[in-house]
């Protein structure tokens, strides 16, 4: 089992957002978390990935048999947890190229204790860029600044392909994407056989194309009995 969540209670500014969450995600799952807006889906995604804004009042998050409840977001990312957030920040002054380079350098050093050569980085980047048909000029632009919703999703896919995470949490991955980008997202997900996916989505038309293995539904911060 790649992810276990045990009796998790989460609050923000003393307001309880998640209550007694229990979740088991197996290796290779395409796991869907459904629920209406405001049910706690995005909160759960953020908590698993280590967003420090939320307070874990009790319970545990276990990733590959290691308790990561108190690990920070950077460590969780390096361990192999990827978050494709619904609302991503703009980072003026930091180019997409530089962002990706430093991300991959950190992953390489964490995984293997080795440095990533510039040649290896550029080769991997070029392969991923061509696969997604991403224009070269995007790489010199600031992260997410001036990009449309669909373009931001394609940059998310670029990062996903390059980092090859163990667990990818995608929060409303089809939101803001036209049909072509949605299909690109579906194709990418279906190719990544070694990555376990946790989807936050209530769109049946989208998730029906991803061979969902399990579904849980959140309602008012609680998982409903299936």
Residue 176 has pLDDT above 80, yes or no: no
**Lowest mean pLDDT, pick from 39-43, 175-179, 186-190:** 175-179
The stretch 63-80 carries a mean pLDDT of: 96
Task: Please name the fold of domain 3-224.
Answer: Rossmann fold (3.40.50)
Closest Cα partner for 166 from 188, 141, 194? 194
Residue 224 — pLDDT band, cuts 50, 70, 90?
confident
Residue 226 — pLDDT band, cuts 50, 70, 90?
low
Sign of the Cα pseudo-torsion (113, 124, 165, 11, in order): positive
- For residue 211, give the 3-state DSSP assignment: coil
Q: Where are the domains of the chain?
A: 3-224
Whole-number pLDDT of residue 210: 87
Residue 97 has pLDDT above 60, yes or no: yes
Residue 197 has pLDDT above 90, yes or no: yes
Q: Please say whether the beta carbons of 198 and 31 come within 8 A.
A: yes
Identify the DSSP state of 116. P
Q: Please say whether the beta carbons of 177 and 153 come within 8 A.
A: yes
- For residue 13, give the 3-state DSSP assignment: coil
pTM of the shown model:
0.92
Sign of the Cα pseudo-torsion (52, 57, 63, 66, in order): positive
Whole-number pLDDT of residue 89: 86
**Lowest mean pLDDT, pick from 76-80, 85-89, 143-147:** 85-89
Identify the DSSP state of 170. E
The stretch 137-146 carries a mean pLDDT of: 94
Q: Please say whether the beta carbons of 209 and 27 come within 8 A.
A: no
Whole-number pLDDT of residue 225: 58
Residue 204 — pLDDT band, cuts 50, 70, 90?
confident
Whole-number pLDDT of residue 52: 94
């Amino acid at each position: 089992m790649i992810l276990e969540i045990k009796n998790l209670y989460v609050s923000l500014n003393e307001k309880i957002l998640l209550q007694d969450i229990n979740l088991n995600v197996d290796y290779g799952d395409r796991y869907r978390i459904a629920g209406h807006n405001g049910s706690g889906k995005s909160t759960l995604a953020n908590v698993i990935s280590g967003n420090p804004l939320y307070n874990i009042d009790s319970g545990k998050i276990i990733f590959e048999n290691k308790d990561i409840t108190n690990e920070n977001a950077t460590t969780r990312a390096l361990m192999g947890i990827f978050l494709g957030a619904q609302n991503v920040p703009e980072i003026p002054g930091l180019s997409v190229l530089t962002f990706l380079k430093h991300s991959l350098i950190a992953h390489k050093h964490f995984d293997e204790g080795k440095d990533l050569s510039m040649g290896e980085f550029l080769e991997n980047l070029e392969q991923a860029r061509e696969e997604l048909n991403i224009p070269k000029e995007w790489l010199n632009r600031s992260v997410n600044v001036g990009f449309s919703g669909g373009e931001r999703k394609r940059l998310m896919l670029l990062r996903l392909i390059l980092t090859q995470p163990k667990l990818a949490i995608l929060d409303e991955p089809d939101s803001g994407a036209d049909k072509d980008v949605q299909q690109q997202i579906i194709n990418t997900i279906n190719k990544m056989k070694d990555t376990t996916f946790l989807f936050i989505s209530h769109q049946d038309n989208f998730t029906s194309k991803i061979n969902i293995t399990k579904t849980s539904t959140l309602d008012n911060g609680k998982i409903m009995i299936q």
